[in-house]
A = this chain, B = another copy of it.
Amino acid sequence: MARPREFDVEEAVEGAMQIFWRNGYGATNLPDLLEAMGLSRGSFYKAFGDKRNAYLQALQRYDDTHISGAIALLEGPGEPSGRARILKLFDKALTSQAGELRGCLVCNAMVELGPSDSEVAQMAASICKRMQDAFELALREDQGGEVGASDMTAWRAAAITNVYFGAQAIRKTGQAMPAWPTVLADLIGPA
């Protein structure tokens, strides 16, 4: 008994994600956001409440698509080893994409909003942790069952996670990315 929505919510959130990813939160103004989402002011505020909420949903969508995709890749199969899957992730996520310079929405969110928005900070921290766990799992796969007295795998996974987000930050300057198999050799083992 009511008029149905004319726009697709997922498409709108996707548009929001794209522009927030490219421009950040603060630098995205409402007109641009509306255009990216493909809807009018009225519809936007009815459906999303406010800008911050749209950002939260965009971040959640990034999690559901890109991050979950990355973690799925790490959990394989599809590659012969955990090491190969880690390298594939770095290759996919951190290869030039010449001139794009968007980095990673989670990294951008941590840096821009981490200190001021605890909900964003919490989402980002949780994503970091999930990625770290996935790295650890991939590492463990390669080392069979043996567990030494001092198992460094968890620490190695932490190091890899830090490398990952560091590269996402550095990449935004346009710097070329190094050869990951070599840079990560100490952490994931040599080819």
List the interface of chain A (C-beta within 8 A of B).
22, 24, 26-27, 101-103, 107-108, 110-112, 114-116, 118, 121-122, 124-125, 128, 152, 155-156, 158-159, 161-170, 172-175, 178-179, 182-187
Dominant SS among interface residues on chain A: helix
In the complex, chain B residues whose CB is within 8 Å of the CB of A162:
162-164, 166-167, 170, 183
In the complex, chain B residues whose CB is within 8 Å of the CB of A122:
173
In the complex, chain B residues whose CB is within 8 Å of the CB of A169:
107, 110-111, 165-166, 168-169
- Tell me whether A173 and B110 are in contact (CB under 8 A): yes
- Tell me whether B186 and A156 are in contact (CB under 8 A): yes
Q: How many copies does the complex hold?
A: 2
In the complex, chain B residues whose CB is within 8 Å of the CB of A108:
111
Instruction: Please report the C-alpha to C-alpha distance between residue A158 and residue B182 in the assembled complex, in whole angstroms.
Output: 10
Closest 4 CB pairs of A and B: A166-B166, A114-B172, A162-B166, A101-B115
* Nearest-CB residue, chain B, relative to A157: B183
In the complex, chain B residues whose CB is within 8 Å of the CB of A24:
26, 112
- Tell me whether A172 and B121 are in contact (CB under 8 A): yes
Instruction: Please report the C-alpha to C-alpha distance between residue A131 and residue B158 in the assembled complex, in whole angstroms.
Output: 21
- Tell me whether B172 and A184 are in contact (CB under 8 A): no
